Amino acid sequence: MEEDDQNQGAGSQPAAKPITHVWLVFALVIMAAFLDVIDFSIVQIALPSIRTQFLVTLADSQWIVGAYGITMAGFLMLSGRLGDVYGQKRLFIIGVILFSLASLTGGLAPSLLSLVVSRAVQGVGAAISSVTALSIFVMLFSEGRERNRALGIFVAVLSAGFAAGSIMGGILTALFGWRSVMFVNVPIGVA
C-alpha cells in the first residue's frame, strides 16, 4: 500500500482490494481518528483534578486543552502535505505512534508544564493521523455509494467521540484519577 499511496493522484481510482482488508483498515483508521476527537473533551472533564494535583489556576489549566487544539489545528495542512510526499500510510502510523507516546508521557507528567508539552505533541500526532485518515479513506473506497457510506460512518463515529469523551472522562477520573484519561489512549494506539 505504501507504493500505492505515494503514487496515487487525487483523481485516480483506488486499486481493488479484498473487502475484509478494506474494512479492517477502515476500522483501525477510524479508531485512531476517534481517539483524536475524544481527546478534546475527555481531558476537560479531568481539569479540576489536574488543577488540584498541580495547584494551578483555572487560567493556567486551560493550556492543557489549548495546547492540544492549537497544535492540532496548526499542523493539519503541513501533515496533509507530508502525507502526499512521504506516503499516507507511513505518516498515519507516525501520527498514531506520536499520539500514543505523548499520551503516555502526559499520564506520567510530574508538572503542569510537562503535561502541556505532552498535550502539544499529542496535538501534532492527532493532526497527522486525522488528515492521513481521510486520505486513506479516499484510497480505500471508490467514489460513489461505498465511499459515501464509509465517510458517513466516519463522521458519525467522530461526532459520537465528542460526547463519549465527556462521559469517559468523568468515569475514568472518578474511578482511577486524571492520569487515566491520558493512559486510556496508549493501549488503543498500540493496537
At 71, is the pLDDT very low, low, confident or very high (cuts 50, 70, 90)? very high
Is 170 among the domain residues? yes
| Residue 188 to residue 191: CA distance in whole angstroms | 5
Whichever domain contains 105, its CATH number is 1.20.1250.20
Is 10 among the domain residues? no
Is 122 among the domain residues? yes
Is 5 among the domain residues? no
Is 55 among the domain residues? yes
Is 3 among the domain residues? no
Q: What is the CA radius of gyration of the chain?
A: 17
The residue range of the domain holding 27 is 18-190
In this prediction, residues 44-66 reach a mean pLDDT of: 95
Confidence at residue 139, expressed as pLDDT on a 0 to 100 scale: 86
In this prediction, residues 30-46 reach a mean pLDDT of: 90
pLDDT above 70 for 11: no
Task: Tally the domains of the chain.
Answer: 1
Confidence at residue 76, expressed as pLDDT on a 0 to 100 scale: 93
Is 4 among the domain residues? no
Is 1 among the domain residues? no
Give the tens place of pLDDT for each residue, 143-190: 889 889 888 998 899 899 988 999 999 999 999 999 999 999 898 777
Give the tens place of pLDDT for each residue, 102-124: 999 999 999 999 999 999 999 99
